[in-house]
Structure 1
Amino acid sequence: MHDPRPDLAPDAGLSREEMEALQREIATAAVFEDDFSFDPDVLSSPLATTASGGDPPTVVGIDQSFLTNDDGDQDRALSAVVATRGGEVIERVHAVTPLEIPYIPGLLSFREGAPILAALETLSVDPDLCLFDGSGRIHFRQAGIATHMGVVRDVPSIGVAKSLLCGTPRADTDDRSTGTTVGIEANSRVDAPDGTLLGYAVQTRQYDSPNRHINPLYVSPGHRVGPETAADIALALSSSYKLPEPVRLADKYADEAKQNLGE
């Protein structure tokens, strides 16, 4: 176990250069290999949980929604956190905070990190693993939102993104069958040696049809999880839907909480 790093929490008041420097510090502090206390096999097999003799790990999904002002401009972020254990929802919390900066590619955590940390603070259970709707190591400075939040809280974390921010697939990712993974390696846009394995394109679902196909998810380690394990966990937690279930539930809850606020 490492120490949490509240000193690395996102600060929207920093300049762009300072934000990028902070991300490089976060990437240095991050651990991109397995460093957690549970057997990941228990996430897909109840029998493995029984055999281990312990409780299932608490897996948390995190997603964001946005609220608008009277002019129709987004001015607040709503962070939804759903905690699951053994596939069952055990707690749901959310937090709303002002949006202090516009969306800037590569600096998402400085826009959305504050409500995420606020929501996690209200959670009564301690996560064993967090899955974020966003990137982890697949990021220009190897410090996407899953890495940033994972390091600040020192919690094993995984980024699950719907599009590829940077990096190069090691093979074609189109029309892959369910369960297929394709490595994503660093290129000239990433602060890492070319060829560094950043994560995987993970095909969690696919149509049984020659005429249409589902795009993969881009899964990468955030903190204290290796790239292969991150991909395996994304597959283990995906069933009837494309998104891993904790993230899907957080996405659904974010919409529900937004509606309850009258938006």
Structure 2
Amino acid sequence: MNPVRPEFVPDPSLSREQMEALQHDIAEAAVFADDLDFDPTDVRIGRHAGQQTLTDDESPVIVGVDQAFLDDRAVSAIVALRDGEVIEEVTAVEPVEIPYIPGLLSFREGNAILAAFERLSVTPDLAVVDGSGRIHFREAGLATHIGVTLDLPAVGVAKNLLCGTPARSIPDRMLEGERIVIEADSEVTAPDGTVVGYAFQSRQYDSGSTSINPLYVSPGHRISAETAVDVVERCCGGYKLPEPTRLADRLADEAKAELA
């Protein structure tokens, strides 16, 4: 799978000001509404795996995208699933040319991800990316940058809240399945109050004082915030992370170990 918008391919040689300007352009090109070639309720991963209502050819292909790092290299891993079954795994290794800078993650990791997509033989219907989408200062997190560049529906799933404000206080212990809207605030270019994503409790311990923190789900491209969290919920199967990114995380670690 190759870039549809090559002008948005991450260029780590740009200045910070140029990177931020490019992100504004990416956000303008992004579609934060449903423009999918499949019915989201047909996603059958995690708890919904095994619900056979479609033929294999009709079932959507969901890919998980995650990264690992070894010295000055980024190891990108993509795992493709259909009906909860792994149908392809690919990895790619690219040099890391800039340090981690909050809000500019895609310029550090994006080229390794795009290199992995080039190796993918199946055509994905949706990418679930370990990183933010619209929950981003300029509405152009890693999932948005990759999604717009490939013109691929994408969802960002982050472990921490980069920016934005919860519509109500996030409790110390959210209930499994609970959702709390994340709204744009003064740090985000979207108008104040815009729904940019959700805090989503994918899994929680049944009892006890120990609590699992929520995930922060946001649309990357060609999907709404509401549908993004619906799909992520359908992808979770007893673990905190959705199955596509959980498997991609494991594959990235395996590839990193082989390199080491």
2: CA distance, partners of 1:5 / 1:185? 28
> Aligned pair in 2 of structure 1 residues 249, 51: CA closer, same or farther (>3 Å)?
closer
Structure 1 counterpart of 2:26: 26
Q: 1:247 to 1:47 in 2, by over 3 A?
A: closer
Q: What's the RMSD between the two structures over aligned residues?
A: 1.5
Listed as ranges, the gaps of 5+ residues in structure 1 are 69-74
Give SS of 1:199's match: strand
| Cα separation, 1, equivalents of 2:70 and 2:49 | 39
- The one-character-per-residue Cα deviations of 1:199-243 (angstroms, maximum 9, x if unpaired) are 000100011124121110000000001000001111110011000
Q: 1:105 aligns with which of 102, 106, 126?
A: 102
The answer to whether the 8 A contact 1:5-1:154 is kept is yes
- Which residue is equivalent to 2:63? 60
Contact in 2 for aligned 1:34/1:229 (Cα 8 Å):
yes
User: Which residue, out of 125, 131, 134, partners 1:134?
Assistant: 131
1:122-158 per-position Cα deviation (integer Å, ceiling 9, x unaligned): 1001110000000000000000000000000000000
Give the Cα separation in 2 of the matches to 1:52 and 1:195.
41
Q: Shift of the alpha carbon at 1:25?
A: 0.3
Q: Which residue of 2 aligns with 1:17?
A: 17
Which residue, 141, 162, 165 being the options, matches 1:165?
Answer: 162
Percentage of pairs with the same residue: 60
Aligned to 1:72: none
Which residue does the alignment assign to 2:244? 246
**Equivalent-residue separation in structure 1 for 2:201 and 2:126 (angstroms):** 21
Cα contact 2:50–2:84 (8 A) shared by 1: no
SS in 2 for 1:146: helix
User: What code does the residue aligned with 1:200 have?
Assistant: Y
SS state at 2:74 partner: strand
Structure 2: gaps of 5 or more residues: none
Q: Give the alignment's TM-score, normalised by structure 1.
A: 0.93
TM-score (norm 2): 0.94
Identify the residue that residue 232 of structure 1 maps to in structure 2.
230
